[in-house]
Amino acid sequence: MTNFGKLYNKIFDYSLKKTTHIKFNDMLKYTSTNIKHTIPITSKHIYNEIPIRLANRVKDLNNLPFGLSKNHSINKIREWYLTSFEEITSINEPNNKDDIDKFKNVIQNIYNRHSTTLTLITKGLIELHLENNIDDSKEPHIQLLLDRFHKNRTEIRILLQHYLSLFENKNEKYYGIINLETDIESIILNAVDNIQHICDSNFINLELNEIIKLDIPENIYIPTIEHYFYYIIFELIKNSVEAVKNIYNPKIIISLKSIDEEWFLIKIEDNGNGISNENMDKIWYYSYSSNPINSKDIIEEIDFSNKSPLSGFGYGLSISNIYVNFLNSLNNNIYLTSNNNGTKTYIYFRKYLLKN
C-alpha cells in the first residue's frame, strides 16, 4: 500500500530540483548522432529528468484555483502523475541493456497513461464553468496556470515519445520523433481529409475540396515533429471550416510563402462572419469556444485524435500556440485578424533545413 505522506515528501523534494530546458532547435543538433550511442545516454537523462517534471505537474495541479484542483477529472489526472512518479522512482537507474529494456517498458506505460490528459482537463474546465465557479475576471489567472501546465506537459510528452521512438528508428528520414523531411503539403491535405470525415460524420453538408483553395509551392520539406505540426494545421483549418459552415458560398484559402532565409508563413483565410472585438482576447482561453459542447459528450480521446467534433473543446488554439512556440523555440507565432468579412490566421515557422 502506498504511503502517501512519504510519497508527497519525495515529490516535494524533487519539485525543488531544476529541470533541463529543451528546445526543438537543440534536438536537431543531435540528428547525426548514432542512435546506438544515444540510447544509453538518453536513458539516464530521462531517468533523472522526468521525476522532477512529474513532481512539478503534481504541484501545479494541487495549486489550481477556484476549486478546479478538487474537480473529479483533475483528480484523475493528478492520480496518474502520482502513479507515474512512484513507478519511475522505484526502479534503478538504467546502466545496462536489461536495465534499459525494463526502463523503456516503464516509460511506455507512463506515456500511455497520460495520453488523454487534454480532453480530461477540458472536461474539468467545462464542469467548473457549469458550476459557476469561473467568471471573466478569473479567466486570466487560470489561463496563466494552464499555460504553464500544458507547456511543461508538452515537453514531458516530447521527451518520452522521442526516447521511445529512438528504439524504433529504421527510416533514415526520422531521428526519434523528428521527421527530417516533413512534406508540408501532404500534412495540409491529410488535415483537410480528416476534417471532411468529421463533417460527414456530423452531417455537416460541406465539400471541402470545393471550398478550399491551396496556394502552396511544390516540394516544401522541413524537419519537424510531424504530428505536432499536423495538430496545429488541423485545428486552425478546423476553425475556419466551423466559421464558414453555415454561410452562402463559403471559401477558405490556405497559402504558404517564404518570408526570408529563416522564416516561412502559412496563412489560412476564410470568409466567415469573423470574431467580434469582444471575443478576440477570449479565443486564447482554454475554456473558450464559439460552439461549446456538453461535458457529458466529451469522450476521453488520446492526443491528436481525429475523432473530436468540429468544435466545442475550446483548447485548440491555445494548445496549437504552445506547439508552434516549441517548434520555433520562440513565443507568439500565431496571429489572427478578423472582421465581418472573415478571419485570417497567420502561422510563422522557422525553416531550419527547408529545401525548395
Sheet architecture: strand order including 221-225: 174-175, 178-183, 221-225
Instruction: Determine which of 28-37, 180-189, 220-229 has the lowest per-residue pLDDT on average.
Output: 28-37
Q: What is the mean pLDDT of residues 263-274?
A: 95
Q: Under CATH, to which class is 4-172 assigned?
A: mainly alpha
Q: What is the mean pLDDT of residues 96-123?
A: 93
pLDDT tens, residue by residue, 184-216: 999 999 999 999 999 998 889 999 999 999 999
Sheet architecture: strand order including 334-339: 212-215, 252-258, 263-270, 342-350, 334-339
Beta bridge partners of 335: 346
What are the domain boundaries of the chain?
4-172, 178-350
Calpha distance 347→356 (Å, rounded):
19
pLDDT value for 228:
94
Domain 178-350 fold is Heat Shock Protein 90 (3.30.565)
Instruction: Determine which of 57-61, 166-170, 249-253 has the lowest per-residue pLDDT on average.
Output: 166-170
**Which of 67-81, 149-163, 216-230 ranks highest by mean pLDDT?**
149-163
pLDDT value for 354:
43
Question: Does this model's pTM top 0.85?
Answer: yes
Sign (positive or negative) of CA dihedral 71, 55, 313, 151:
positive
pLDDT tens, residue by residue, 9-22: 999 999 999 999 88
Give the residue, 310 or 269, on which the prediction is more confident: 269
Asked if the model's pLDDT at residue 87 lies above 90, the reply is: yes
Confidence of residue 74 (pLDDT cuts 50, 70, 90): confident
Q: Look at the block and give the residue holding cell 533514415.
A: 172
pLDDT value for 29:
84
pLDDT value for 44:
96
Asked if the model's pLDDT at residue 331 lies above 90, the reply is: no
Q: What is the mean pLDDT of residues 178-187?
A: 93
Calpha distance 55→157 (Å, rounded):
15
pLDDT value for 356:
41
